[in-house]
Structure 1
Amino acid sequence: MTDTVDNAKATPEQAQPYRELGLKDDEYARIREILGRRPTDAELAMYSVMWSEHCSYKSSKVHWKHWSANTTPEMKAKMLAGIGENAGVVDIGDGWAVTFKLESHNHPSYVEPYQGAATGVGGIVRDIMAMGARPLAVMDPLRFGAPDHPDTKRVLPGIVSGVGGYGNCLGLPNIGGEVVFDPSYQGNPLVNALCVGAMRVEDLHLAHASGTGNKVILFGARTGLDGIGGVSVLASETFSGDEGGTGRKKLPAVQVGDPFTEKVLIECCLELFAEGIVVGIQDLGGAGLSCATSELASAGDGGMHVELDRVPLRAKGMTPAEILSSESQERMCAVVKPSDVDAFMRVCAKWDVIATEIGEVTEGDRLIITWHGETVVDVPPRTVAHEGPMYERPIERPHDQDSLQANGPEQLARPSTPDELRAEILRMAASPNLASRRWVTEQYDRYVRGGTVLAQPSDSGMIRVDEQTGRGVALATDCNGRFVKLDPYTGTQLALAEAYRNVAVSGATPLAVTNCLNFGSPEDPAVMWQFEQAVRGLAEGCKELGIPVTGGNVSFYNQTGSTAILPTPVVGVLGVIDDVRRRIPTGIGAEAGETLLLLGDTRDEFGGSEWAHEVHGHLGGLPPKVDLAREKLLADILVAGSRDGMISAAHDLSDGGLAQTLVETVLIGEVGARVFLDPDQDPFVQLFSESAGRVLVAVPRSEELRFTEMCTARGLPWRRTGVVDPESGTLEIQGVGEIALPELREAWEGTLPALFG
């Protein structure tokens, strides 16, 4: 028997499984108060998924005040759409707008690695489509447990294959990302996905249901039992610790993706937008139809009536609650004027996309959903979509934070002789976190569609937006979770600074920020302290740099039992370049005698460094200092150097320090170099320190004086640190010795294939 609204009124004391659906006692009581009765089964399903942590941000919303408090009018002027929309949108000039967003699909990817990662890509692509843009490229910041752990060997190949399989089938290049290993991610890998798309400014669309009598059309794939609860429930609970073995408890079904269906859905949506026959479009991702209907109605100027029995299904016997909770992929919901319905249907038929009119916009302020003529949902849509619980979780600085910071790396044994330093360079180059990602990126199509200008292993990905002018955008994502663990405020600003710097070294001007904030349980006061510090650090850092946060994602409950992941606020920065032909490559070229200059200051900073982690398994002390004013100056000089043709190559210094930057620079360029260390500073510090705000640039001899004079005049420290030597075939470091490029390449490229290939 279907549980209707009339039945709910007649049976107020009927027991309901709200706790099993993730609702707290007080949340269930509030639902009853809102409705003036008990909810129906379908209403309970809607509230449970929409009030989940993943969909409602109930533990993080209170901290969003930091975004508004630190976003100036000048920063807002850069945005066409911001926080609260499907994706952020910025104006990049010449009438072009770019939309980009970063989201998580962590828990589903642990349960079912391939489909979890694949549908993570599919979901973020639909967010971009919903804004009216053509998706141009994707990126994938990934985090895994110990590289030699059996479960890492289970999840990593599937996740990489899922990211590549879905993106490749869509014909979207994967232009960058990260692969990071740390034992804290054991049992809780992080799969973050970014998509960027472009449109003309006038083609921007926002998701809302307005206009009484307008029709609600569901189009795309059929709705099935796959993904019920999906990411909305999975991402709102801590893993107990036995999900990966035979004792796995019953979990919601992970969504199953079909990239070929999504490919035609992309083209169908773009034609619908071009024809001007949609009022608004909402993708169906987390929480499925519950989300799409309630958010469209909530953002509109009236109510909505939906006939749920008209939804095309691919499973028999589905209940209203299951249909509303299903997170089946490749589905969109559109609001269309009655006069445009026939044209809408013709476009969908052309692309062989199933389209069904399931309802209409109504007067009033109620979302009413019927099932074979009987009302199963009658709710105020804002209470479902935008007025869920909001918690001020207890915040407490971890009791061991002081001892963690006091346990610095100063006493760790350091290499000192030339042979020891040489061996350390090779060891670090081969370490899992620094080794070449080629084994991963070769599974992705990085150049499909012909718009890719830079891709991994470059510091940032770059994509051409306008074929006529060459205008393009660069993107980078970064986060060192160890830095954030040591000092969440500074560590998050270091993530922002590195992504900002990685965009600038390509010659692009940093313009806007997105983020994916991955943390442990919000019910842990220590985790909430990390989170609050990170949000405040990012917000205040963006204000200092003058670039806005356009949107993002919060992913809580990333822990197994009581063991939380390293706090991992992944920061994505987008930059604009007026002509991609003036981009700065990462690898040095073959012109003999080009000067290598090190920009910035090098200090003895090893807290949270890759050297301390890899060589000593140590985490303690303080992270490097961050100077955002210096980062802004550095970016200005790099962009000016690019515009004036003064820089032939550039590579930032981050994980692994100068030594790793040199290894990558010569191997990517396939050219040798001679390097001179500063006789007044410890060679080990010069080679492995991870001080922020530094870049290695190659400058043509004819431009060296002009470039260094510009640096000096603007107060940016620089040091002549080497020359390009194409004939040598070696990396020669004064006081350390020579390392042949084949020996370096064997160390750098052999690790991931040996582990996973």
Structure 2
Amino acid sequence: MPETRIAHLDTVTVATEDPQREQPWSDLGLKPDEYAEIREILGRRPTSSELAMYSVMWSEHCSYKSSKVHLKQFSEIPQTTPVGKMLAGIGENAGVLDIGQGYAVTFKVESHNHPSYVEPYQGAATGVGGIVRDILAMGARPVAVMDPLRFGPLDADDTHRVLPGIVAGVGGYGNMLGLPNIGGEAVFDASYAGNPLVNALCVGVLRHEDLHLAKASGVGNQVILYGARTGGDGIGGVSVLASETFDADGPAKRPSVQVGDPFMEKLLIECTLEIFAAGLVAGIQDLGGAGLSCATSELASAGDGGMHVELDRVPLRDSTLAPEEILMSESQERMMAVVEPDDVAAFLAICAKWDVEAVVVGEVTDTGRLQIDWHGERVVDVPPRSVAHDGPTYHRPLERPSWQDDLQADGAESLQRPGTGAELRDTVLRMVASPNLCDKSWITDQYDRYVRGNTVLSQPSDSGMIRVDPDTNLGVAISTDCNGRFALLDPYAGAQLALVESYRNVATGGAVPLAISDCLNFGSPEDPAVMWQFAEACRGLKDACLTLGIPVTGGNVSLYNQTGETPILPTPVVAVLGVMDDVTLRTPSAWSAGGERVFLLGETREELSGSEWAHVEHGHLGGLPPTVDLEAERSLAQLLHAGVGLLSSAHDVSDGGLVQTLAESSLRHGVGVTVNVVGDPFVALFSESTARVVVTVADGDAERLVELAGEHGVPIAPLGVTGGDALDVEGVFDVPLSELRRAWAGTLPAALG
């Protein structure tokens, strides 16, 4: 560090003696009352380093200041699952669930939306890297990732700019880590133009005794920073800070998007797992959003309350970085561990073995303060909880928008419908070729789905499934979902619809749904209509979880997702994780042989508002979304679990309706189907009623399936039989699979090359 920078260092002593100095609190995203509160907490003005810490830690991304009043209702849900207990939940890096046999799994989904718009490849790649480290920090080996994605219109120039880079970033980082990508979504809507959503999920596996938490306990224990060196990339990424805010004569503005190095992350993973196995860690935290500001304050706040750090010991890639920048840098592939003094040498030896740089930067104290020095000068002296946990809490105004009634009154009932068999046939071909329903192989083929050899189900199956124990075949299934159009029509029901589709997808494979993680993507919290949507979505998730008996393990909130004054569709993505006692018995998502009997489980109603048909054929969005029937979903899931070994396939009915399910099931293995629908063929084929699944059984097992459905109170109707080379709706139309495949598979390659 140049001597001139040290000479002008803003220390605690200087801040005390110079209380009226002008500070750029507004430029750092702080409000006047927030800056005043910081001064009251400290009894003086903050130093520039303290101001940096508070600004990033009190940002919307880190403090949840607009959302936590609504999120707290998730704590009303019992912290038990249908098969066991939660070992760690909301407030930790990720939720941890007991799945039996001494195993636990941890999973979480987070957003990296804005960075991925600015720099698609690195934004998406570092989103994957960050969620993987969250899972690692719990003591788990990361075993799989998923990526729910949202883009603007497929034919938009900006979609062509961001989509290839985002997909390449997700695939490139995950593939290089050797983690299979087993699921996710790719959805297109005009509201995401200029604001794509990049949500990333990771799941990890650990034994119960390997659980680690983020806390700095044990006075005298050493604080070790290890992994990549700290650079200027990602400074203030969570609150869009620029480095010249602190020093106008310093280096040029730093990029706010982090730069990832998956090779270093892979070393960091293996190094950390060996450290865990050696029992050398008393507490651990990954460095993601807010970097060292977050890691130091959260570890100290959750532990004994005191920590002293020598900031000039931090290994740097850029020697010109000021202390403020070091504290705010979000450089990737870094971890911070709390280690007992007698274990430090062994810890450092393992890091050296993996060629991972590690430095003791501080120790746990009994002062109740987070104290940070720079070349012997104190630049931070704060109560750590005031930084990490006691930030602002906003009760933002919320109001049901004036246009909601008109929107809900404008249902799809008046839209012109296809009437003849030829018109229905043409509609089917247009629908399967539409961006949201077409084949996504252009995207998913860029991901390694089978690396490590434990992938049981992956795209395009309803859910991803991973083997946890190769001896007993214990495994877990995961699905993510959200229909933003439904959430706009009714945010309470829309959030529940996201949950039940993921719940149903997990159940189709035969797994028992255990818990959820959520990624709540909304517009500006300063808009009362957006806050009403958010509050309703949270209420909907809480009520659904209470009814279904599954907890919320944690998640993420991403706000300010809008372009100008236009917010995105409210997009509460919900991930559901389930347990499968024996993955070798899983139920496939598509039939693979002819001569099997096809049945529809569940009840079909005339529910077309907000549907893909209304969207694709008419560009229409209005009315009420499909009815949510939580008891029906639970009974259906229980039937699907009881049917393991009996069912030869099971595929849920959702976007696009029954005909989309039949098309995907036929195209998967090139085996057609002949069905006979009852009533209005259009409603039967395109309605998006929930709690429905198409299943197949061997001809001789049909009677047993009907009996099983009766035992669980699930409506069942025969549809037809598999076989042939066409999708044949008897008496209405038929489409050769070759023609259906051309329509379904050609859309993304034609648009993206």
Taking structure 2 as the reference length, the TM-score comes to 0.97
Separation of aligned partners in 2, 1:233 and 1:750: 40
Separation of aligned partners in 2, 1:542 and 1:736: 41
User: Following TM superposition, by how much is the alpha carbon of 1:735 offset from its aligned partner in structure 2, in angstroms?
Assistant: 2.4
Gaps of 5+ in 1: 236-248
Residue of structure 2 equivalent to 1:240? none
Paired letter, 1:394: P
Contact 1:108 1:234 in 2 (8 A): no
Paired letter, 2:658: L
Residue of structure 2 equivalent to 1:663? 663
| 1:300-356 CA distance string (max 9 Å, x none) | 013000000000000121100000000000000000000000000000000000000
**Partner-residue secondary structure (3-state), 2:452:** helix
Residue of structure 2 equivalent to 1:646? 646
Residue of structure 2 equivalent to 1:101? 108
User: Following TM superposition, by how much is the alpha carbon of 1:593 offset from its aligned partner in structure 2, in angstroms?
Assistant: 1.7
Contact 1:297 1:303 in 2 (8 A): yes
1:424 maps to 2:427: yes
Contact 1:231 1:254 in 2 (8 A): no
> Structure 1 residues 40 and 280 mapped into 2: Cα distance closer, same or farther (>3 Å)?
same
Separation of aligned partners in 1, 2:81 and 2:321: 51
Separation of aligned partners in 2, 1:520 and 1:651: 33
Where does 1:470-549 land on structure 2 (aligned, <5 Å)? 470-549=473-552
Separation of aligned partners in 1, 2:302 and 2:550: 27
User: Following TM superposition, by how much is the alpha carbon of 1:689 offset from its aligned partner in structure 2, in angstroms?
Assistant: 0.3
> Structure 1 residues 52 and 191 mapped into 2: Cα distance closer, same or farther (>3 Å)?
same
Contact 1:105 1:231 in 2 (8 A): no
Gaps of 5+ in 2: 1-7, 243-251
Contact 2:79 2:86 in 1 (8 A): no
Residue of structure 2 equivalent to 1:696? 694
1:31 maps to 2:29: no
Residue of structure 1 equivalent to 2:718? 720
Residue of structure 2 equivalent to 1:710? 708
Where does 1:113-192 land on structure 2 (aligned, <5 Å)? 113-192=120-199
**Partner-residue secondary structure (3-state), 1:423:** helix
| 1:140-199 CA distance string (max 9 Å, x none) | 000001110100000000000000000000000000000000000010000000000001
How much is the aligned-residue C-alpha RMSD, in angstroms? 1.3
User: Following TM superposition, by how much is the alpha carbon of 1:364 offset from its aligned partner in structure 2, in angstroms?
Assistant: 1.8
Residue of structure 2 equivalent to 1:600? 602
Separation of aligned partners in 2, 1:119 and 1:566: 25
User: Following TM superposition, by how much is the alpha carbon of 1:410 offset from its aligned partner in structure 2, in angstroms?
Assistant: 0.6
Paired letter, 1:521: S
Pairing partner for 1:294 from 286, 291, 297? 297
Pairing partner for 1:71 from 69, 78, 85? 78
User: Following TM superposition, by how much is the alpha carbon of 1:234 offset from its aligned partner in structure 2, in angstroms?
Assistant: 8.1
**Partner-residue secondary structure (3-state), 1:398:** coil
Residue of structure 1 equivalent to 2:675? 675
Contact 2:217 2:303 in 1 (8 A): yes
Separation of aligned partners in 2, 1:672 and 1:517: 39
| 1:82-129 CA distance string (max 9 Å, x none) | 000000000000000000000000000000000000000000000000
Separation of aligned partners in 2, 1:2 and 1:251: 20
1:386 maps to 2:384: no
Paired letter, 1:426: L
User: Following TM superposition, by how much is the alpha carbon of 1:24 offset from its aligned partner in structure 2, in angstroms?
Assistant: 0.2
Paired letter, 1:699: V
Separation of aligned partners in 1, 2:546 and 2:339: 39
| 1:449-484 CA distance string (max 9 Å, x none) | 001000000000000000100000000000000000
Paired letter, 2:728: E
User: Following TM superposition, by how much is the alpha carbon of 1:65 offset from its aligned partner in structure 2, in angstroms?
Assistant: 3.0
**Percent identity at matched positions?**
69
Aligned length: 737
Paired letter, 1:175: I
Contact 1:218 1:331 in 2 (8 A): yes
Paired letter, 1:693: A
User: Following TM superposition, by how much is the alpha carbon of 1:250 offset from its aligned partner in structure 2, in angstroms?
Assistant: 7.6
Separation of aligned partners in 1, 2:34 and 2:135: 32
> Structure 1 residues 234 and 125 mapped into 2: Cα distance closer, same or farther (>3 Å)?
farther
**Partner-residue secondary structure (3-state), 2:276:** helix
Residue of structure 2 equivalent to 1:578? 581
Pairing partner for 1:221 from 204, 224, 228? 228
Contact 2:610 2:622 in 1 (8 A): yes
| 1:367-422 CA distance string (max 9 Å, x none) | 00000000000000000000000000001001100000001111101001000001
Taking structure 1 as the reference length, the TM-score comes to 0.96
Residue of structure 1 equivalent to 2:734? 738
User: Following TM superposition, by how much is the alpha carbon of 1:75 offset from its aligned partner in structure 2, in angstroms?
Assistant: 7.2
> Structure 1 residues 314 and 147 mapped into 2: Cα distance closer, same or farther (>3 Å)?
same
Pairing partner for 2:89 from 70, 82, 96? 82
Paired letter, 2:675: V
Pairing partner for 2:725 from 729, 735, 748? 729
**Partner-residue secondary structure (3-state), 1:212:** coil
Pairing partner for 1:262 from 254, 265, 276? 265
Residue of structure 1 equivalent to 2:65? 58
Separation of aligned partners in 1, 2:241 and 2:186: 23
1:280 maps to 2:283: yes
> Structure 1 residues 308 and 183 mapped into 2: Cα distance closer, same or farther (>3 Å)?
same
Residue of structure 1 equivalent to 2:245? none
